[in-house]
């Protein structure tokens, strides 16, 4: 038995599945593992009552974390006792989860998956002083609870592993990337692409540039728009599609202000630049529909400037057979070879030199045969290193050790 746990609710219905980042990576891992082994996902939820649902080999136990009386009930304690001696997989960032796991179960092995460094995120990306202080405090707790124990830590890249080794012994750290379900992403184009474009209100004859991710400032969509504005000067038929989630909190019908305000900010930029007819925003797409968005595109872009090693969306775009234009981070070189299946640009180029980036995108769009070849190569690279089925097998082997 493998137990995966996160301080985030597992969706009741797949139409609710609109997550990204480490939440999406952990959910996808749970699904991949359950195809090969019995898996329990301990879903830490804000509301509701204790319940257990089954989806084939995947069992989802919903624990209301803010109802302490429920967690202390005999029924829940007996349920958690059934996992004594099991292998647990959790996320490094969920500090409260470490407390729950240590308090209520006695795992045979505890594997922390690091999706980035809390302290580093605070120092580089947190905008407000309050945010920096909060993230640094969480980082200190994370270090105390996870890095100072004898448990195994999995990082997604060699670069992260080297940084982690400044905190813990090297034998505690393993490198294992997150993955993508290759069966869900198709390279089919032509007539199918036209149908998808019509369904989303896109011009079937346009060249479509796609950017996907959480609608947040650190994902740098404002500079994607800046680059696209330059692209329109040399490629009038191009269209930009920005697809992502604005994070609707569990138990709330309201969109979080940070995502909502940033979305309004992006729309204002588009309006001020006079390119409103060429930019399409598609927000909060259910996960089951997301592969269609990639199918509709001609090239994928991702221009994060702060620390962002290898987001899920890059692997998805590669699996869908798209050429990639990305800001250059070391971890991304495992999926993009400059000039082979797309192009790298310097992290500052979309902000400081958008015309240069636009020319690289235009070069791909104007060369149909090259675009197809690059897309095929992207798919091959993802197949070689990021097939989530094979990654799940490696997790199973680690749990057996």
The residues, any chain, with a CB within 8 Å of residue 68's CB and separated by 6 or more, are none
**pLDDT digit string (tens) for 297-346?**
999 999 998 767 788 999 999 999 999 999 998 889 999 999 999 999 99
Report the distance separating Cα 250 and Cα 323, nearest Å: 35
**Is the confidence at residue 373, as pLDDT, over 50?**
yes
**pLDDT digit string (tens) for 15-45?**
666 667 778 888 889 999 999 999 999 887 7
* pLDDT for 191: 62
- Token couple for 250: 């569990």
Least reliable range by pLDDT among 230-234, 246-250, 317-321, 359-363: 246-250
**Is the confidence at residue 153, as pLDDT, over 90?**
no
**Is the confidence at residue 249, as pLDDT, over 50?**
no
- 397 band by pLDDT with thresholds 50, 70 and 90: very high
- 185 band by pLDDT with thresholds 50, 70 and 90: confident
Report the distance separating Cα 266 and Cα 252, nearest Å: 24
- Token couple for 134: 């909060």
Report the distance separating Cα 21 and Cα 7, nearest Å: 14
**pLDDT digit string (tens) for 61-96?**
988 877 766 667 888 888 888 888 888 888 765 556
**Is the confidence at residue 241, as pLDDT, over 80?**
yes
**Is the confidence at residue 8, as pLDDT, over 70?**
yes
Task: For residue 209, list its beta bridge partners.
Answer: 240, 299
- 233 band by pLDDT with thresholds 50, 70 and 90: very high
* pLDDT for 210: 97
Q: Do 2-179+387-400 and 182-385 show the same overall fold?
A: yes
- 188 band by pLDDT with thresholds 50, 70 and 90: low
pTM of the model: 0.88
- What CATH number belongs to 2-179+387-400? 3.40.50.2000
With beta carbons less than 8 A apart as the criterion, state whether 157 and 177 touch.
yes
Report the distance separating Cα 24 and Cα 287, nearest Å: 9
- Token couple for 10: 């597992």
Which runs of consecutive H residues, i.e. helices, occur in 3-67?
A: 21-34
Report the distance separating Cα 212 and Cα 109, nearest Å: 35
Report the distance separating Cα 159 and Cα 99, nearest Å: 28
Report the distance separating Cα 217 and Cα 262, nearest Å: 7
Element (H, E) at 255: none
Give me the architecture of the 182-385 domain, per CATH. 3-Layer(aba) Sandwich (3.40)
Report the distance separating Cα 192 and Cα 328, nearest Å: 32
Distance of CA 397 to the CA centre of its chain: 24
Q: Domain coordinates of the chain in residue numbers?
A: 2-179+387-400, 182-385
- Measure Cα distances from 353 to 129, 272, 278, 311, 362 in Å: 30, 20, 21, 23, 15
């Amino acid at each position: 038995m493998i137990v995966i746990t996160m301080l985030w609710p597992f969706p009741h219905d797949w139409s609710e599945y609109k997550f990204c980042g480490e939440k999406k990576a952990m959910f996808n891992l749970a699904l991949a593992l359950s195809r090969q082994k019995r898996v329990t996902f301990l879903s830490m939820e804000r509301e509701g009552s204790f319940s257990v649902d089954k989806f084939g080999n995947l069992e989802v136990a919903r624990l209301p974390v803010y109802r302490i009386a429920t967690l202390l009930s005999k029924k829940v304690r007996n349920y958690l006792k059934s996992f004594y001696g099991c292998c647990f997989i959790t996320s490094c960032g969920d500090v409260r989860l470490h407390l729950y796991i240590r308090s209520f179960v006695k795992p045979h092995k505890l594997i922390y998956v690091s999706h980035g460094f809390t302290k580093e995120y605070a120092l580089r990306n947190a905008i407000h002083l309050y945010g920096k202080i909060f993230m640094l405090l969480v980082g200190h707790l994370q270090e105390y609870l996870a890095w100072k124990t004898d448990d195994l830590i999995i990082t997604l890249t060699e670069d992260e592993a080297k940084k982690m080794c400044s905190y813990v012994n090297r034998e505690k750290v393993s490198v294992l990337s997150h993955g993508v379900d290759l069966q869900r992403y198709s390279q089919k184009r032509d007539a199918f692409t036209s149908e998808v474009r019509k369904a989303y209100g896109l011009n079937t004859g346009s060249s479509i540039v796609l950017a996907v991710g959480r609608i947040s400032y650190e994902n740098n969509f404002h500079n994607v728009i800046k680059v696209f504005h330059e692209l329109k000067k040399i490629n009038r038929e191009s269209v930009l599609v920005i697809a992502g989630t604005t994070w609707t909190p569990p138990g709330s019908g309201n969109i979080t202000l940070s995502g909502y305000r940033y979305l309004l900010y992006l729309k204002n930029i588009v309006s001020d630049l006079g390119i409103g007819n060429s930019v399409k925003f598609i927000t909060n797409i259910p996960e089951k529909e997301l592969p269609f968005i990639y199918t509709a595109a001609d090239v994928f872009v991702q221009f994060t400037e702060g620390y962002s090693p290898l987001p899920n969306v890059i692997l998805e775009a590669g699996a869908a057979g798209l050429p990639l234009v990305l800001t250059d981070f070391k971890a991304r070189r495992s999926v993009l070879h400059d000039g082979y299946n797309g192009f790298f640009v310097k992290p500052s180029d979309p902000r400081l030199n958008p015309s240069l980036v636009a020319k690289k995108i235009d070069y791909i769009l104007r060369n149909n045969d090259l675009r197809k070849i690059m897309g095929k190569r992207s798919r091959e690279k993802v197949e070689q290193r990021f097939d989530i089925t094979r990654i799940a097998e490696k997790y199973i082997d680690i749990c057996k050790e």
